[in-house]
A = this chain, B = another copy of it.
Amino acid sequence: MVMNTQFKKGVLELCVLALLDRKDCYGYEMVDEISKNISISEGTIYPLLKRLKNEGFVISYLKESPDGPPRKYYRLTDLGKKKKDKLVDEWGEFSMGVNNLLYSKITNNLGDIKDE
């Protein structure tokens, strides 16, 4: 899926946290899951997961795979849940703000300037 790279900045963090809020996932799985809606590559997710772990938003545990190397599953911490809720709120405000700019009547401040 071709997609504006810049749009994703910061949003992928939200997507990962939102995904993990539903179920524990391993990295490779998240790429698949998220890719159904917005494109993401492995080179993005692994550094991101590492960062989220360093910041205490997730923990990880290993589990054997039936076909391949062991999978590293990630689970949201309480802190991660809070972070996710905060980001969801921020995303709502932000996307609403953008949509206002794109679609709403422009608020022009010229109401007090009369024709002459």
User: Nearest B residue to A109 by beta-carbon distance?
Assistant: B32
Q: Which DSSP category, helix, strand, loop or mixed, fits chain A's interface?
A: helix
A79 at the interface (CB under 8 A from B): no
Interface residues on A, range: 35 or more
Residues of B within 8 A of A95 (CB): 95, 98-99
CB-CB nearest in chain B for A9 = B9
Among A51-102, those with CB < 8 Å from B are 87-88, 90-91, 93-95, 97-102
* A37 engages B100 (CB within 8 Å): yes
A residues adjacent to B (C-beta < 8 A): 3-11, 13-15, 18-19, 22-23, 33-34, 36-38, 87-88, 90-91, 93-95, 97-102, 106-108
